[in-house]
């Protein structure tokens, strides 16, 4: 499974960005997918995750501002980010893992992504004040 992110960039606080993650390779399985981010000097943290059935979960810091979604026909995962804040600045990574017991959006979003086997290369998001 290969993941390729796009859509990052530089915006001012209050602005919006939409990240995309194109999925290719062996995808004939049910997957849990997520967005994670890592700022310089900080640990990687979960942002949002979505199960194969569409059940989504969010980190408290982004609830009400970010929306995760997926288009199965296009094999693409999205992250719509609104009302961006300087503290949202980070490298954003898309991740995927086969949906087995213990891999659920509600739990993985609170972690660092150790459950995930497949990762993209990342896309930078910079929010200026």
Query: Which of 37, 41, 54 lies closest to 106 in space, CA to CA?
Result: 54
Please choose, from the candidates 32, 31, 35, 34, the residue with its C-alpha nearest in 3D space to the C-alpha of residue 8: 35
- pLDDT value at position 101? 81
Q: How many CA atoms lie within 13 A of 37 on its CB side?
A: 21
Three-state DSSP class for residue 116: coil
For the chain, the 3-state helix, strand and coil shares in percent, each to the nearest 5, are 5, 50, 45
Q: Which two tokens stand for residue 111?
A: 């972690």
Distance in angstroms (rounded) separating the CA atoms of residues 29 and 38? 28
Q: Rounding to the nearest 10 degrees, give the CA dihedral for residues 67, 36, 19, 60.
A: 30
Walking along the chain (129 residues) 10 residues at a time, the average pLDDT comes out as: 97 98 86 96 97 95 98 95 98 94 89 95 97
* Contact between residue 48 and residue 34 where contact means Cβ atoms under 8 Å apart: yes
Amino acid 90: pLDDT: 98
pLDDT at residue number 48 = 98
């Amino acid at each position: 499974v290969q993941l390729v992110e796009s859509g990052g960039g530089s915006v001012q606080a209050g602005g919006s960005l939409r990240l995309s993650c194109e999925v290719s390779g062996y995808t004939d399985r049910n997957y849990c997918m997520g967005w994670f981010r890592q700022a310089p000097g900080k640990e990687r943290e979960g942002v949002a995750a979505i199960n194969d059935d569409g059940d989504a979960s969010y980190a408290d810091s982004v609830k009400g501002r970010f929306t995760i979604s997926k288009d199965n026909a296009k094999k693409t995962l999205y992250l719509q980010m609104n009302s961006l804040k300087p503290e949202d600045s980070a490298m954003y990574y898309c991740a995927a893992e086969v949906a087995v017991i213990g891999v659920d959006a509600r739990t993985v979003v609170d972690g660092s992504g150790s459950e995930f086997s497949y990762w993209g290369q990342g896309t930078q998001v910079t929010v200026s004040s």
